[in-house]
Structure 1
Amino acid sequence: MQINMFFKLKIFVVIFNVIFLSTSFSQSLKYAGTLPINHHLSESQKLFAEKVFEKTGGKLKIEIFPAGQLYKAHEIPSAVATGAVDIGFNLTTVWTKDIISEINDVPFLMVNANQVGKAWDKDERLFKYYSKVMESRQMKTLGVILFGSFFDISSNKKIVNPEDFSGKKIRTSSAISSESIRALGGSPVTLDPAEMYLGLQSGTIDAAITGVTSIDQRKLWENSKYTTIAGSAFGVFAVNMNLQTFNKLSKNNQEALLQAATEVQQWSIDRSIKEDNKSTEFLKTKVEVITLNSDQRQKWTTKLVPVVNNWLSKASAEEKKIVSWIESLK
């Protein structure tokens, strides 16, 4: 199965890139991704490349490399910042350790795609603030892509209430998600997304925190019996580009990149809803799927209050205002 997927990936990339190589162009940029080729975030790479090609009349070509072909998730930030690759996407929490990068993982702040779409609108305060911080890290934020439901759990034993976390080794993706697992009673383990499958299979971890689309397409259900949908966080991937490389482009090419990213960002709002629903229905045919009810959510909320308060204690006055504004969008 893994060999078959490997060849599918190679065919996907070769066919897509050859189509664009057949037309003359003046410049090419490499775009690294990490999700499986059938995931809508990998599809977003292809869509972005097509839009840039169209808007520049073929003068700027984006070569896409999905499914961790070039770099693992944790390697992409340094690769983009140093110019080893031109463009990459990643969860905001993975890009940098800045407080604003953790905002999507603040428990029960971001709760659905429509709210998140409004919060990350490129004309609004969150995107502008985040972009400014990324520029200080030598990266240009072209846009964001909505991944979908996050902090969902793939496990062999049912994990619903806080007491169910006790003694469990659980894969997390960020500092704040690790803090949340500790607050709920579990033991966080850091693993690259590509390592979750083997981690569950070997028993290195008892459960993995990710999104339902990832549980589906990374086939975590093959090594699990339960999926818990918490609704406590929402995955947002920032599309960042090396700042020096961006600044060297012509104004027309810069504008094409930004416009294409905006269009893909808007596309991802409805698409994330569709894919979450599709994956949830699929998982119901493979494992027991539990969606937290109001009483269970309240238990989680109570346990996670210290996590929220700790994040707020480190946030600037502007970041606290952004949180209040996001809460008003619910």
Structure 2
Amino acid sequence: MKKTFDKRHAILTLATIVCALALCLPAAAVVKLDMDTTYSGANMHAETCREFAKRVNEALKDQVFITVHEGGALGLKDEDRFTAVADGIVPIQSVLMGAAIGTSPIFGLSTSPFFVKDFKDARLLMEIARPYYDKEAKKHNQLILYTAPWPPSSIHANRPIIKYEDIKGLRIRTYDKNGTDVLKKAGANAVVMSWGDVYPALATKTIDSVLTSSQSAVAGKFWEVLTDTTRVNFAIPLNMININLDTFNKLSKEQQQKIVEIGKQMEERQWKLAEEAMVNDENTCEKNGMKITRQVSNELAGKLKADGMMVIEEWTKKVGPDAKSILDEFEKKRK
């Protein structure tokens, strides 16, 4: 009987010691992650970044905490964001795909001018290309958490763009090489410029026009410096929200799964927002005094589309066999 008592006593004593030691151990440190975006305020990409961080922080309370840095606060230019994630300079980054062309040509697909005609096309193209995007991102030490489309790109200027000749002479900002090449062919003085530099360049008259969505026109209050928006449906660009793979792999499986799950939620949210935004944002520009040209001539549309084909041809050569696989599947499924 005494032996039984001693054994129980020893077990209870050991349990007490273990519990005491556990209480003395420090709690697991919260993993703090910075998330960077060039956008801010009411811009839907900034809003979705904030919502992503909010949901992750709530779901993984006391485990993972994401801080969103808006408006390019960390000092990165658009063309540097993809490599910043690869190098672990910023763990999570919102990257305009077209801005990563210099490093990875495959990401130029979403900004290929006049290749998709609507959101249905753009979504199909993204879904077909996504495995190839994922493969390329992995090569550069990152994981795509979600894609985020923009409304179609318009030309915002001090005159409507009705004819092909109206583009000639524009000092126009573009968001990537694809847009620059096509607009230069049409006679514009086109230059790639990060979003954070656009309004100062307009205010100082370094540029007199901008290729971007009406969502950005609202965010930038273009009506203060420009008079017209022409809906040319140039492209439906994508951003990708990427996390550094080294950072991601240090998280627990449960944390990884939750972050990926919330990323999928944000993707659905952003596609819905982008479709709603085009009309709403044009109306906002109009209410603030801008003239909106919603239909361009067949001559302008036809010539710009023909110019855009050179971008797809160049992209196909640079990307190689994967490009043909993507384009063949897209043409087959869009019919």
Band the TM-score falls in, shorter-chain normalisation = 0.7 to 0.9
CA positional deviation for 1:294: 6.0
State the distance in 2 between where 1:248 and 1:146 align: 29
Show CA shifts across 1:206-240 (max 9, x none). 21111110011111221111111111200211001
Q: Alignment partner for residue 137 of structure 1, among 140, 157, 172?
A: 140
The corresponding residue for 1:49 is 53
One-letter code of the match for 2:162?
V
1:39 paired to 2:43 = yes
From the superposition, tell whether residues 118 and 58 of structure 1 become closer, same or farther in structure 2 (CA, over 3 Å): farther
State the distance in 1 between where 2:30 and 2:130 align: 31
State the distance in 2 between where 1:284 and 1:275 align: 14
**Structure 1: 4+ residue segments shifted above 4 A:** none
Check the 8 A contact 1:113/1:270 in 2, yes or no: no
Worse-matched range after superposition: 182-191 or 204-213: 182-191
Aligned pairs (5 A) from 1:76-87:
76-87=81-92
The corresponding residue for 2:246 is 244
From the superposition, tell whether residues 96 and 254 of structure 1 become closer, same or farther in structure 2 (CA, over 3 Å): farther
Show CA shifts across 1:229-284 (max 9, x none). 11120021100111211111111111111111111001111111112221011112
Aligned pairs (5 A) from 1:1-330:
26-74=30-78, 75-97=80-102, 98-121=104-127, 125-150=128-153, 152-285=154-287, 286-293=289-296, 295=298, 296-327=300-331, 328-329=333-334
Worse-matched range after superposition: 261-270 or 139-148: 139-148
Percent of aligned pairs with the same residue?
22
Unaligned runs of at least 5 residues, structure 1: 1-23
CA positional deviation for 1:323: 2.2
One-letter code of the match for 2:234?
S
Check the 8 A contact 1:183/1:304 in 2, yes or no: no
CA positional deviation for 1:303: 3.3
State the distance in 2 between where 1:311 and 1:118 align: 18
Show CA shifts across 1:124-172 (max 9, x none). x41111111111112221111122222x111113323221121222111
CA positional deviation for 1:33: 1.0
One-letter code of the match for 1:280?
E
State the distance in 1 between where 2:161 and 2:206 align: 17
One-letter code of the match for 2:93?
G
State the distance in 2 between where 1:102 and 1:284 align: 31
State the distance in 1 between where 2:324 and 2:155 align: 29
**Rg comparison, structure with higher value:** 2
How many equivalent pairs are there? 303
The corresponding residue for 2:13 is none
Check the 8 A contact 2:100/2:108 in 1, yes or no: no
One-letter code of the match for 1:127?
R
Check the 8 A contact 1:56/1:252 in 2, yes or no: no
Check the 8 A contact 1:230/1:297 in 2, yes or no: yes
CA positional deviation for 1:101: 0.6
The corresponding residue for 2:14 is none
State the distance in 1 between where 2:329 and 2:182 align: 23
Check the 8 A contact 1:72/1:192 in 2, yes or no: no
Unaligned runs of at least 5 residues, structure 2: 1-27
Check the 8 A contact 2:182/2:304 in 1, yes or no: no
CA positional deviation for 1:306: 2.7
Check the 8 A contact 2:150/2:238 in 1, yes or no: yes
State the distance in 1 between where 2:330 and 2:173 align: 27
Q: RMSD in angstroms over aligned alpha carbons?
A: 2.0
State the distance in 1 between where 2:58 and 2:123 align: 25
From the superposition, tell whether residues 182 and 213 of structure 1 become closer, same or farther in structure 2 (CA, over 3 Å): same
State the distance in 2 between where 1:57 and 1:204 align: 47
Worse-matched range after superposition: 59-68 or 108-117: 108-117
From the superposition, tell whether residues 25 and 43 of structure 1 become closer, same or farther in structure 2 (CA, over 3 Å): farther
Check the 8 A contact 2:115/2:308 in 1, yes or no: no
One-letter code of the match for 1:107?
P
CA positional deviation for 1:25: 6.6
State the distance in 2 between where 1:321 and 1:221 align: 43
**SS of corresponding position for 1:249:** coil
TM-score, length-normalised on structure 1? Answer: 0.85
